[in-house]
Amino acid sequence: MTASAPITQDLLTIPRKLPEDGRTNLVGLTRDGLRDALIAAGTPEKQAKMRTTQLWQWIYQKGVRDFAAMTNLAKEYRALLAENFTVEIPEIVSRDVSADGTRKYLLRIAGGHEVEAVYIPEEDRGTLCVSSQVGCTLTCSFCHTGTQRLVRNLTAGEIVGQVMVARDDLDDWPKPGEGSGTRPRLVSNLVLMGMGEPLYNFENVRDAMKIAMDGEGISLSRRRITLSTSGVVPEIARTAEEIGCMLAVSFHATTDEVRDRLVPINKRWNIATLLDALREYPRLSNSERITFEYVMLKDVNDSDADARRLVKLISGIPAKINLIPFNEWPGAPYERSDWDRIEAFADIVYKAGYASPIRTPRGEDIMAACGQLKSATERARKSRAQIAAEAGL
């Protein structure tokens, strides 16, 4: 499989105003952005900070979206808000629930585009995997999303909105009278591991994660948020400084020759350059360790020699190696490594002093596992195109 697609950052402009009625959606505005918007709509400057906090609490802590229900605001002020603003989140088009409890949401966002988010429940908590782009500009040869062209970047509101959609669906908002810590939270962790390359949509991802981490916002600790990148080196230090969440990197190979094929961004920033940036991350972000994601592809990157090279390469970096058995998708050019091969690889890494968990595939029956995401409309479009081609149209 060749990997020759352009490695570029598409800067796409997304309207903040909703086209239907010109009102501004408050979801995804930073604190400063919200404050400015409130002042522009007629809120006295002296009150703007307090109103910002009150609105954030209603929207992100209580899950309330109807201004009329925001009872600590004066009636006239609620009317002013309703005239100027909306509180909108993506709409659920469909929800699939896997035999193992994993939930995959197909979500519609402005412009009729679709993205997927996946909730993976654990004992008394759960991880939500969110998307940052519709499609992806990169073309990692083992990733289903990579076969879908980039349509557009998600706005900050569409990114944090995925968390709100899942909390709605799981009934994960505090009930009236309940404090925020009364019940265990079902969406307790976030991973930016859905569709798209988060570091090619830096500002929107940053603003969304700031809301997710803020004590008056969604209120998740930065240690419960993991951003996964394929290796956009210039943005790694910025991630540490401006977001400060946990970092995962899609490493997947131990030689540039193989990584060029699997993760083509490697041609731009190779293994040595990537490792230099990663070495600095824990200090800059004050986080303990980096997760190295390593997809196990039969006879491609799964030998004992690979395992030994891997531990040598990362020596000195506080790290955990997450081994991901390859998840198949229609037309994929790879196979999953055999189980005993994955275990032998994990053993070498473990004996070298690194935690080496093997990620149990979740939600495979609904195509919700890592690298299987691709929106249904795009699937439909591709298959119609294929049908047309086969019919000689």
Binding site for ligand SAH (CB under 6 A): 140, 142-143, 193, 196-197, 228-230, 250, 293, 295, 324, 326-327, 370-371
Instruction: State the residues that interact with ligand SF4 by CB under 6 A.
Output: 136, 138-140, 143, 145-146, 196-197, 230, 250
Exposure letters 211-230 (e unless 16+ CB within 10 A, then b)? bbbbeebbebebebbbbbbb
Task: Assess contact for 200 and 133: CB atoms under 8 A.
Answer: yes
The residue written with tokens 């986080």 in the block is 287
Beta-sheet strands, E only, within 113-252 = 113-122, 125-129, 133-134, 152-153, 189-192, 225-229, 246-250
Least separation in angstroms between residue 250's CB and ligand SAH is 4
Residues near 67 by beta carbon (within 8 Å), at least 6 away in sequence: 73, 78, 79, 81, 82, 85, 87
* Residue nearest ligand SF4 (C-beta atom): 146
Residue at 133: amino acid letter: Q
Nearest C-alpha neighbor of 231 from the set 201, 284, 271: 271
Residues near 66 by beta carbon (within 8 Å), at least 6 away in sequence: 87
Question: Smaller CB distance to ligand SAH: residue 208 or 295?
Answer: 295
Question: Smaller CB distance to ligand SAH: residue 58 or 294?
Answer: 294
The residue written with tokens 């094929």 in the block is 261
The residue written with tokens 């596992």 in the block is 369
Least separation in angstroms between residue 328's CB and ligand SF4 is 15
Question: Smaller CB distance to ligand SAH: residue 185 or 259?
Answer: 259
Give the strands of the sheet with 290-296, arranged side by side: 91-97, 103-109, 113-122, 125-129, 189-192, 225-229, 246-250, 290-296, 319-325
Least separation in angstroms between residue 317's CB and ligand SAH is 17
Which letter does DSSP use for residue 371 in this model? T
162 binds, among ligand SAH, ligand SF4, none (CB under 5 to 8 A by kind): none
119 binds, among ligand SF4, ligand SAH, none (CB under 5 to 8 A by kind): none
Question: Smaller CB distance to ligand SAH: residue 268 or 351?
Answer: 268
212 binds, among ligand SF4, ligand SAH, none (CB under 5 to 8 A by kind): none
193 binds, among ligand SF4, ligand SAH, none (CB under 5 to 8 A by kind): ligand SAH
Which letter does DSSP use for residue 262 in this model? H
326 binds, among ligand SAH, ligand SF4, none (CB under 5 to 8 A by kind): ligand SAH
What angle (nearest 5°) sits at the alpha carbon of residue 209, between those of residues 327 and 10? 70
Question: Smaller CB distance to ligand SF4: residue 189 or 229?
Answer: 229
Least separation in angstroms between residue 262's CB and ligand SF4 is 9
217 binds, among ligand SAH, ligand SF4, none (CB under 5 to 8 A by kind): none
295 binds, among ligand SAH, ligand SF4, none (CB under 5 to 8 A by kind): ligand SAH
* Residue nearest ligand SAH (C-beta atom): 371
Question: Smaller CB distance to ligand SAH: residue 60 or 142?
Answer: 142
Please give the Cα distance from 79 to 8 (Å, whole number): 44
Please give the Cα distance from 228 to 251 (Å, whole number): 10
Least separation in angstroms between residue 324's CB and ligand SF4 is 11
Question: Smaller CB distance to ligand SF4: residue 73 or 138?
Answer: 138
Least separation in angstroms between residue 50's CB and ligand SF4 is 41
Least separation in angstroms between residue 385's CB and ligand SAH is 22
Task: Assess contact for 354 and 320: CB atoms under 8 A.
Answer: yes
Query: What does the DSSP assignment read for 199-231?
Result: GGSHHHHHHHHHHHH-TTTT---GGGEEEEES-
- The catalytic residues are 116, 370
